[in-house]
Structure formats: structure tokens, C-alpha cells
Amino acid sequence: MKLKSIFTNSFGILFSRITGLTRDVLMASALGASIYTDMFFIAFKLPNLFRRIFAEGAFTQAFMPSFVASKHKGVFATAIFLRFMLFIFLISLTITLFPEIVTKLLAWGWSSDKIEATAPFTAINFWYLDFIFIVTFMATLLQYKEHFATTALSTALLNLSMITAMLIFMHHEPKTIVYALSFSVVIGGFLQVITHLIALKHFKLHKLLIGGWKYRDKKDIKEEEKKFIKLFIPSVWGNSAPQISSFLDTFLASFLITGSVSYLFYANRVFQLPLGIIAIATATALFPSISKALNRGDEKEAYSNLSRAFWLLAFLLGISVVGGVVLAEPIVWLLFERGAFTQQETLQTVNVLTMYMIGLMPYGFAKLFSMFLYASHRHSKAAKIATIALVVNIITSLILIKPMGAMGLALAGSIGGWTLFILTIKEVGFDRFLKIIKSKKSIYFIVAMGVLSIIFIYLNGFILTLIRS
């Protein structure tokens, strides 16, 4: 396990998350948890949904092991890129022509007036997906070279673009601010493409693609393409499950009181911070090395890396869960309670955040162990597991939404996360998992979490006293 790669990736994601939180703080100050924030979040939801399914999720997980095994890497990469780029462009064009229909699907409980007002923002935001697919394709090639810094750091360009738009239009009317944010999303995607083109040239990977284009009709890659599609289709579904869950949260929240969509968004932003800089960063850095190890038949190295990564995640995610639950109110107060964001909105967001944090560790571990399934070409198994977790999430969401509101939706997501984790461990092998946790590190972990809980409880009381005095 290459700690340098993990921490480089973590630093980049941390920087991105910090700029993201800065963006959200500015947005909360300017718009609060109002109808205009709900409109923007709905419009931004769709490109994010497809980005995570096709770009960051399914594409990378299917492309990496296929690319590693390919005998004609340049031709294979070029062929796959052109097909996907055409497909995504056609989707973007369709949504630009029919934005109201798509917006209605995202917020079924909204009135026709709200749908009509949100539709233009949906059309603008979706073009971000075209740029981010190009970024993801180039990022996967850079990951093959075990270079993660460019991708991790360039993600912040989206946030910086949106922050700039907020600073310029902060004092304009809300509708103008939402338009500015929407255009800044597309600009941010363009800037990310530029940085990846520079990195691609630095590692001379552009020659690979040029060669792939030059010899595209002279190399037979039909079998490689078939294998990729065979991996990609279940990978799409496997990655769709958590995104459908997120989509479901937004859909159901649109039937709740105004601000519910925003409570879920702001709480999820805090939840995504440790998930991104710890779990996703570790899994992303580990994926190429595990894929290469399994491709050459070295399972011992693959499982050794998995074990070390598990304990790194256990301690870091454990600290995040304890801190996130105990210090939820001070965290939300510090980040969001200013301007149009009131104390009541802080308390609502705190309740949702607490429910999300219950699922942080299982989601993080599931992300790690699912990478092993994808690297070993068990995409279909991963898809079946994700489907079961999604069904559990849907059922619990419908049960909990009435008595708990937005809190119930967040708790349902955590229950789905636990389901995902348990079933993923079962597929990887309970015996291997038990071998990992049968260690003195388990005792150290329990003691450390107990001590931290006591420290955070006292710290929380002290901070709340200062806030309320």
C-alpha cells in the first residue's frame, strides 16, 4: 500500500472539500435554505447523478482492469472514449431541449411554476457532465501511471469557479445568483479539462492516444471491447444504486416542508468530507495497484494492501464518526449559521447530519472492499449487492419519512450503507475479514474511540456554552 499516493490523493480531496464547504457557506449566507437553494440543488443534482454513475464510478471501475489487461492500450482507450463522448453529448443535447420533463422527474412534488423556473438551470448545469467525462477518462489514464494529484486538486476548480461567481453576484437578486452558479459549474468543468490535458502531456500519455487514433483500424480489439462492456453494464447498475438512493432522498424531500432538500444537502456535504478525504481517497489510490496485482496473479500482495488500508480507514473514520455525532451542532453552526441561515435551520441540519454519520464507517469500508471486487472482475456480484442495499434503503425511507421527515431519509441511507457493507464483506470472504480484525489493533481501536468520546463530549459542552452565552 503506497501511503504517499493515499495522502496525496487525500490532500487534494481535502482541499476540494474545503473549497466546497467555503462555497456552501457563501451560498447559505446568500440564499439560506430557501426555494432558490432548492432550485439550484435540484438542477445540479442531475449532472452529479450521471457523473457518479458513468464517469467517476462505472466507467473507471470497468475501464481500469480492462485497460490493464489490454494488448493494444492506445486503440482500446481511443475507441472507448469516442463512443462514450458521443453518447453523453446526445444526452446533454436532449436535456437541453426538454429540461422541464427531466426537472419534473427530479422534483415530482413541486408545482408546475417551480418546475418551469428550475428547468433553465437544469439545462445549463447538465453540460458539466460532458467536461467531467473527459476529465474522468484522462484521470483514469493518470491513475494507471499512479498519478493522483492532478485529479484530486483539480476538483477544487469547480468550487473556486462557483465561489468566484458567488463573490461577484452575492448582492444580486436570488435568481441572478442561481444563474451565475449554474454557468460557473460549466466553467469549472472546462478548467478541469485543461489541467488534465497538461498532466496528460507531461506523462506523455497523449502519444498513446495519438497512436490509438492512428492505428484504430489496424488492431483488432473487438474481444477487449466485449469484455469491457460485460464489466461496464453491471458496473453501471452497481454505481447507480447509491446514486438512485440520493435521487430518492431529493425526490421524497420535495414532498416535505420547504428547506428539506437543503437540510439534506448541507448535512450530506459535511458527511462527504471524511468519506471523500479518507475512504474514497484510499480506495482510489489502492485500485490501480490491486488491479495490477490481481492481473499478474499476486493475491497475497492484493490482500496485504487491503488489510493495511482497512486499519487506516478504521481509525480515521472512527474519529470522524465520534466527532461528527458529538460535535454536530458546533460544526453546523460554525459552517453555515450566518446571514439567511437561521438557528432553527442549524438544528434541523444537525438532526439530519447525525443520522448520516451512523453510516459513515460502513459506507467507507464498503467502498474499500468493493474496489477489490471490481479489480477481480466481479462486477456482477457488486451490482447484486448494491441492488439489495438499494431495496433496503427504499423500504426504510418509505417507512421513516412520515415519522422522522428528512432525518428518516438520512437514517434510511445509513441502514442501506450497513447492508452494503455486510454483503460486500460476505462476497470478499468473512474468513478474510475476520483474519483482518483478529488483531491487537481492535483493542487499540475500542480504547481510542472510548477516550475520544469522553473528550468530545466535554468539548461539545464547552463550545455550546460559548455559543449560547
pLDDT at 301: 78
pLDDT at 391: 93
Torsion of CA 31, 40, 271, 261, to 10 degrees: 80
pLDDT at 226: 80
| 200/142 Cα distance (integer angstroms) | 7
pLDDT at 148: 81
pTM: 0.72
pLDDT at 396: 94
- Give the number of domains in the chain: 1
User: Over its length of 469 residues, how does the chain's per-residue pLDDT go in tens digits?
Assistant: 566 767 777 787 778 878 887 888 788 777 776 778 888 888 887 787 777 666 556 777 788 888 887 877 888 888 888 888 998 899 899 989 988 888 887 777 787 888 888 888 889 999 998 998 899 899 888 988 878 888 888 888 999 999 999 899 888 888 888 899 999 999 999 999 999 999 999 888 888 887 767 666 656 677 777 888 887 778 777 777 777 787 788 788 878 877 788 888 888 888 988 887 888 778 777 777 777 777 777 777 777 878 888 898 899 999 999 999 999 888 888 888 777 777 888 888 999 999 999 999 999 999 888 877 887 778 888 889 989 999 999 999 999 998 888 899 999 999 999 999 999 999 988 888 888 888 888 999 999 999 999 999 988 888 888 776 6
pLDDT at 414: 93
The residue written with cell numbers 441511507 in the block is 413
Q: Tell me how many degrees the CA angle 364-365-370 measures, rounded to the nearest 5.
A: 105
294 and 376 in contact (C-beta within 8 Å)?
yes
| 362/95 Cα distance (integer angstroms) | 35
pLDDT at 18: 83
The residue written with cell numbers 438544528 in the block is 347
pLDDT at 56: 56
Owning domain of residue 139: 3-468
Long-range contacts of 464-467 (CB under 8 A, 24+ apart): 464/329, 464/330, 467/330, 467/333
pLDDT at 353: 93
pLDDT at 425: 92
